[in-house]
Amino acid sequence: MKFPFDRDTRRRWIDLAMSGAAFVCVVIAIIPLGSILIEASVRGLRSLSPAVLTATTGQGGIGNAIQGTLILILLSALVSLPVGILTGIYLSEFGKNRLGAAVRFFVEVMTQVPSMVVGIFVYSLVLELGLIGLGSPRLVFSTISGVLALSTIMVPFVARTSEEALRLVSIAVRESALALGIPRHRTILRVVVPSASSALVTGGLLGIARVAGETAPLLVTAFGNNDWFRGLDQPIESLPHTIYIWATGPYVAQNQAAWGVSLVLVLMMLGLSIASRVVIRLRSVSR
Amino acid sequence: MATKLRVESVSAWYGEKLAIQDITMDIEEHMVTAVIGPSGCGKSTLIRCLNRMHETIPKARVEGKVLLQGEDIYASSPVSVRRRIGMVFQKANPFPTMSIYDNVAAGLRLNGVRNRDELDKAVLASLKQAALWDEVKDSLDKSGASLSGGQQQRLCIARALAVKPEVLLMDEPCSALDPIATAKIEDLIFDLKKDFTLIVVTHNMQQAARVSETTAFMYLGKLIEVSNTRELFERPREALTESYITGRFG
Amino acid sequence: MYLFRWTRGKGRGISADTLGESLFQWLSTIVALGVVGVLALIAIVLFFEAEASIGAFGWSFLGGTVWNPQPPLLFGALPFVYGTLVTSALALVFGVPISVGIAIFLSELAPPWIRIPLTYVVELLAAVPSVVYGLWGIFVLAPVMRTSIEPFIQGIFGFLPIFQGTPIGLDKLSAGVILAIMIIPTISSVSREAFLAVPDSQREAALSLGATRWETTRMAVLRYARAGLFGAIILGLGRAVGETMAVTMTIGNKNVISVSLFDQGQTIASWIANNFTEAETPLELSAFIELGLVLMLMSLIINIFARLMVARVLRRGEGAA
């Protein structure tokens, strides 16, 4: 290609090339996303059917995996949302001092602990507690164990989103409530939290969506089960775990079916994400 | 004196909003032209149209002609225009991650000057022209942001001068500075006009009276009056001009 | 330091409101401290479990290349540390330029109407579960790598040791590519925020000197935001180091240290994921946990460092780094 050597023109060409390169970067990033969505939709739909959705993994279906994921995330939410939101309340309402700064820092650190490490932590904890008589060593591979692991991941996440949500509630709102003589804790409970409620719910739903996709910790806690839910003290199946087993297994049909499971999982997470947006929309409409 | 810059029926918009309307004036070379007027009258918008900075704002639009020695700047590339028409901003904006030397040399490097000696000479000359050399000659490698406000502004002037523009636009260069720094820059403006053509936007009428030969008064986007500074302040033609000068508004 | 304050109400004693107030503050404080306590518990439990292995092998654990579950029991972490470092380095090599390109596009070049939807789409990359990336890696990326990309690279650069050997597809290179994709949302969003924080006056300074848009970005934006950019990259590294499923599924799972990127490998996380439940002896279990401890410390140090960098930039606002 002939390069007009005039300096200004060269600078213009470089400018154009760099803009093009930046655009190409965006395209490169979107390609895998598009590919995953397409593969999941095409290959996934092919392998899904009502029969698949209602049979257990032992029978070639994913019914128990769906059930397992639902049980795991609901129980984890039951534990993590109150704890996480309360921690978020502490951080935003009472955490303006040095202690609060330290707590905030460590909560932030907790969100970065690799999920695999959380898994082996829960395994070890349950094992040791079992050995000294609290529970039983058998519980390492159980629903409870899985819930503990997912909660450990979810709580710091929810704490952080809750703190941000509460921070956004304007000072004006707080001060006007306090000026009316409403005591602090009631201000927080009856005024601040409600006005942040949609953001809090969003944070919670996003946290749930996030742990719904977690696999690594479940490998060493919830473990997996070819049958329907049998009890809190029993191992339990989950969608991401099924994907992993089927994808890495030797049967081609199962490999392909893993796409179907992925589709179900992604739809579930999408549903949660959309639900969180709907909540925001509803709240702002009702004002 | 010859006309350096000719503004012909220039109008400019921010999106749908008309900011300046049908401005026509001549800028004489080697003179200081001041542009005065109350806030929002469009004086900053006007000079930003003179070095094609206005169009960098999204949805901004310019119509009309601006002729630099006969050539319409809107027909050339913005890069070459901005090299010939430099700008100094209201708040000094040196590059904080670069040294004083590198700040001044920035424009030169963009234009391909690599030779160390050449750069040294040019930096020295520009800093001297900006009356900053004596104060920084021993600390050329300190950060551009380590200077005082007035010094930073002179650094920005040196940086603009280093590429040897023909015209220098100054958008309220002293409004963020204290009186002593302001006085230094006003002296500088006086010295610079023998090598450059200057246009200074100011909200300070006394400053306009002090530094300029020609003054243009703008109001609500229109050019109300432009004439010799002395005459504009002593015998303004328009009633609006007189009201502004006597402090009845703005 | 007062954790709560007794307010004196009208009349005598403490009113129910005051009690409720301090109770509430106490409750949320205790819960928050409890959460931090869990973090401490993680450290304590892991150290406790890893002690046997630490005691048995000491520092040679990090340098050991053998993982022998049969007597004589010998466990070493080097192949896994090596795999983690190589795949994370690859993730940065591929991920950083693309992320910075995206950030530049979104903050400097994109027309306003496309910014929000595109930002959202890039964030969507972060929402895909790791195991789904792994699935895609095995059945879409790996075949393409094996049949097209890796032979192509080998054709041109095959003289380099890192590109020798038979391309298998499920290897360190593929794992690195998937990791790169996964850390793009992290690096690009933090970088984008760093770029958006650069004041317009900086861009104007460059433009008024006659700089082109790219030159302005280079001179005014990238330089000014370089500390934030650096922090973003380290954050991405932290994420890459801890990533498990996608890597496990694409790296080939072989405990070898080999130079070629076309060879299989193993990372700390992938080895734990694969074999933790197969541990045969208490010492092996302890070794696995020591491995997990190593991973956690790596991740913690990287992330704390990154946060300090990003916090410094956000606090200062000035580019002078």
Average the pLDDT over C260-273 and give the result. Answer: 93
pLDDT at A78: 95
**Residue range A41-46: average pLDDT?**
90
pLDDT band at A49 (very low <50, low <70, confident <90, very high): confident
Q: Report pLDDT for C1.
A: 37
What size, in residues, is chain A? 287
Binned at pLDDT 50, 70 and 90, residue C265 comes out as very high
**pLDDT for the residue A281:** 76
C128·A36 Cβ contact <8 A: yes
SS (H, E, C) chain A: CCCCCCHHHHHHHHHHHHHHHHHHHHHHHHHHHHHHHHHHHHHHHHHCCHHHHHCCHHHCCCHHHHHHHHHHHHHHHHHHHHHHHHHHHHHHHHCCCHHHHHHHHHHHHHHCCCHHHHHHHHHHHHHHHHHCCCCCHHHHCCHHHHHHHHHHHHHHHHHHHHHHHHHCCCHHHHHHHHHCCCCHHHHHHHHHHHHCHHHHHHHHHHHHHHHHCCCHHHHCCCCCCCCCCCCCCCCCCCHHHHHHHHHHCCCHHHHHHHHHHHHHHHHHHHHHHHHHHHHHHHHHHHC
Candidates C112, C201, C209; nearest CB to B91: C201
Contact A273 C127 (CB under 8 A): yes
- Do residue C202 and residue B79 have CB atoms under 8 angstroms apart? no
Quote the pLDDT of residue C208. Answer: 94
By percentage, how much of chain B surpasses pLDDT 90?
A: 75
When pLDDT is averaged across residues B146-161 and rounded to a whole number, the result is 93
pLDDT of residue B214: 93
Confidence (pLDDT) at C58? 85
**Whole-number pLDDT of residue C4:** 44
For the segment C280-288, the average pLDDT, to the nearest whole number, is: 90
Q: A255 and C292: CB-CB below 8 Å?
A: no
Is the per-residue pLDDT at C280 higher than 90?
A: no
Lowest mean pLDDT among B56-60, B177-181, C6-10, C199-203: C6-10
- Is C204 in contact with B145 (Cβ distance < 8 A)? no
Cβ partners under 8 Å of residue A81, min gap 6: A158, A204, A207
Kindly report the average pLDDT of chain A as a whole number: 88
Q: Which of C31, C109, C304 sits opposite A87 (nearest CB)?
A: C31
Q: What pairs with residue C199 in β-bridges?
A: none
Q: What is the pLDDT of residues C227-239, one digit of tens each?
A: 889 999 999 999 9
Do residue A109 and residue C121 have CB atoms under 8 angstroms apart? no
Asked whether the beta carbons of residue B156 and residue C205 sit closer than 8 angstroms, the reply is yes
pLDDT range class, residue A285, cuts 50, 70, 90: low
Q: Report pLDDT for A5.
A: 63
Which of A5, A7, A8, A9 to probe the B interface (max B CBs under 10 A)? A8
pLDDT of A83 higher than 90: yes
Q: What is the pLDDT of residues C48-103, one digit of tens each?
A: 999 988 888 888 888 888 888 888 888 889 999 999 999 999 999 999 999 999 99
Pairing of strands B167-171, B197-201: parallel
**Nearest Cβ partner of C295 from A93, A95, A117?**
A117
Chain A positions touching C108 (Cβ under 8 A) are: 22
Cis peptide before C72 (omega within 30 of 0): yes
Look at residue C6 and tell me whether its pLDDT is greater than 70.
no
What pLDDT is attached to residue C12?
45
Cα A113 to Cα A257, B116, C87: the distances in Å are 32, 51, 19
pLDDT at C16: 62
Contacts of B95 in chain C (CB under 8 A): 202, 205-206, 219-220, 223-224, 319
Asked which of A189-193, A248-252, C63-67 is least confident by mean pLDDT, the reply is A189-193
Q: B77–A8: do the CB atoms touch at under 8 Å?
A: yes
- What number is the average pLDDT over the span C149-167? 88
By C-alpha distance, the chain B residue nearest A15 is B79
Q: Is the pLDDT of residue C108 over 60?
A: yes
With a pLDDT cut of 70, the percent of chain B lying above it is 99
Condensed to tens digits (0 to 9), the pLDDT of residues A148-187 reads 999 999 999 999 999 988 888 877 787 888 788 777 777 7
Window 41-80 of A, Cβ < 8 Å to C:
none
Is residue C141 within 8 A of residue C178, CB to CB? The reply is yes
What residue type is B247 in one-letter code? G
pLDDT tens digits for range A115-152? 999 999 999 999 999 999 888 888 999 999 999 999 99
What pLDDT is attached to residue B58?
85
Mean pLDDT of B200-205: 92
Chain centroid to CA A201? 13
Q: Which amino acid is at B222?
A: K
Residue A260: predicted pLDDT: 92
Closest residue in C to A21 (Cα–Cα): C101
Which band of pLDDT confidence, cut at 50, 70 and 90, is reported for residue C314?
low
Residue C290 clears pLDDT 50, i.e. is over it: yes
Q: Note the pLDDT of residue C11.
A: 46
List, for residues B75-94, the tens digit of each pLDDT value: 988 998 999 999 999 999 99
Q: How many CB atoms lie within 10 A of CB B126?
A: 24
Task: Give Cα separations from A24 to A30, C62, C97, C102 (angstroms).
Answer: 10, 41, 11, 9
Query: Looking at residue C319, what is its pLDDT?
Result: 45
Residues with Cβ within 8 Å of residue C194, at least 6 apart in sequence: C103, C225, C227, C228, C229, C231, C232, C310, C313
Angle at B169 between CA B67 and CA C197, to 5 degrees: 115
Question: Which chain B residues have a beta carbon less than 8 Å from that of A12?
Answer: 77, 79
What pLDDT score does B207 carry?
A: 92
Chosen for mutation from B59, B73, B95, B155 (greatest number of chain C CBs closer than 10 Å) is: B95
Mean per-residue pLDDT over chain B, rounded: 91
* pLDDT the model gives residue C320: 43
Check if B31 contacts C (Cβ < 8 Å): no
Structure confidence by residue, pLDDT tens digits, C11-40: 444 566 667 667 788 888 999 999 999 999
